[in-house]
Amino acid sequence: MLFHHFLKQFVKVGTLNVIDTKGKNYSYSATPTPEITIQIHSKSLENCLCYSPMLALGEGYMEGTLTIEKGDIYDFLSFCAVNLRQVHFPLVQKLTNQLSAFRHLLHEKNPIHRSHQNVAHHYDLSEDLYRLFLDKDMQYSCAYFTSLDDDLETAQINKKRHLAAKLQLKPGQKVLDIGSGWGGLAISLAKEADVDVTGLTLSEEQHRVATERVKAAGLEKRVRFLLRDYREETGTYDRIVSVGMFEHVGVKHYNEFFSQISSLLRPDGIALLHSIGCATGPSTPNSWLNKYIFPGGYAPALSETLSALEPSKLYVTDIEVLHQHYAETLRHWRQRFLAHQDKVKKIWGEKFFRMWDFYLASCEVAFRKRGYMVFQIQMMRNAELTPLTRDYIWEKEEWMAQKKNVKFSAVSGKAHNDL
């Protein structure tokens, strides 16, 4: 009864058809479209959906106790997101917020040993899995679409060029890549700008793959990857870049993160942070994502990011917000993932497939309809070195694009592959 009362109050847009555990059909309709049909195969799931909707939805879909009979999981989650804008349950929301706030406190502290555990949970999965849905360079972060007609490969090249342009790289500079992933960005920067790059990662699988890629590219003298936490680094660098790693730092460690960047950056250096963010202000972690996909993960608001940055000896010199780019990236990833679903199910199982389908679909919905975005913050130790306008970004990107995958080094004069 509680579940049906909940749905009557919840559906403000569209039509939701529900088939309960006894096979009885219920319809909750506000408008004819969109129309979604789900089937509940577990009585206990009905109550869980009222008290912890996101966790229950994800677990129900993973276990097969909730199936989508009309539409797919993306359609259903999109339907839920649209209706969440229209409805308000004061008591339920209060209880949910209190529980989420408690979880948030548990994840705020992120010592080095816990960081290793959290990273291993997600990033130490097989390289073969990620190759099924990422681009050829294995960029596992938001791409940059100059047009919705861009394919994933093009958009990820755009992203790397966009970052390179903001870093204002010069041949021979030392670059630190915090959270270097599968190594593609570091290798690309070394090729593109003749710089020396040190990448830091806590993932043994990513470290192995990235190191193998450096050897294959013949860049061992200019690119290296270390299994090291950013708090353990002691070098000095001309440029520091961090892409898709800040989400794992932990709120309690934001001041420490920016203080460390400041201490590692030369007085005339530039740092660039690329992170998922929440445009509606400080939020609470998604309970399902934290349990199954990103333990300890959190998408910060710009307000809490900047307040932590201000005490450091860094000046914010540029901020850019990318609103729909990650939604498009996730759309491409999910399409590729679904195209390989038979292989995924054969190797990792049906439950794993549904878990990752839910992950990719829910994240795309979050970026399209739930106020999530990506921000890039450029920082300098000396604000007087800041260019007068942002024109240098577009000029550098255009210059790189016109090279059509081949450039000439200002140092050696030899041709290199471009991004």
CATH number at residue 349: 3.40.50.150
Compute CA distances 189 → 177, 197, 416, whole Å. 10, 8, 12
Provide the pLDDT for residue 5. 87
| pLDDT tens, residue by residue, 303-327 | 999 999 999 999 999 999 999 999 9
Provide the pLDDT for residue 296. 87
Q: Evaluate whether residue 51 is within a structural domain.
A: yes
Q: Evaluate whether residue 99 is within a structural domain.
A: no
Provide the pLDDT for residue 122. 81
Is there a single domain that holds both residue 397 and residue 262?
A: yes
Is there a single domain that holds both residue 116 and residue 59?
A: no
- What residues of the chain score a pLDDT lower than 50? 406-419
Q: Evaluate whether residue 96 is within a structural domain.
A: no
Q: What span, in angstroms and rounded, lies between the C-alpha atoms of 231 and 241?
A: 15
278 is catalytic: no
Is there a single domain that holds both residue 10 and residue 141?
A: no
Is there a single domain that holds both residue 247 and residue 303?
A: yes
Catalytic residue among 80, 142, 278, 363: 363
Which structural domain range is residue 229 located in? 112-417
Is there a single domain that holds both residue 204 and residue 79?
A: no
Is there a single domain that holds both residue 258 and residue 364?
A: yes
Q: Evaluate whether residue 141 is within a structural domain.
A: yes
Return contacts of 305-311, CB within 8 angstroms, 24+ apart: 305/246, 305/254, 305/275, 305/277, 305/375, 305/377, 308/254, 308/255, 308/257, 308/258, 309/254, 309/258, 309/377, 309/379, 311/255, 311/258, 311/259
Provide the pLDDT for residue 410. 33
Is there a single domain that holds both residue 172 and residue 52?
A: no
Provide the pLDDT for residue 415. 36
What total number of domains does the chain contain?
2
Closest CA to 329 of 198, 127, 157, 93: 157
Q: Evaluate whether residue 341 is within a structural domain.
A: yes
| pLDDT tens, residue by residue, 74-115 | 999 999 999 988 876 555 555 555 555 555 555 566 777 777
Provide the pLDDT for residue 96. 54
Is there a single domain that holds both residue 53 and residue 153?
A: no
Contacts for 266 with CB less than 8 Å, ≥ 6 apart: 236, 237, 238, 381
Is there a single domain that holds both residue 278 and residue 231?
A: yes
Is there a single domain that holds both residue 402 and residue 324?
A: yes
Is there a single domain that holds both residue 295 and residue 222?
A: yes
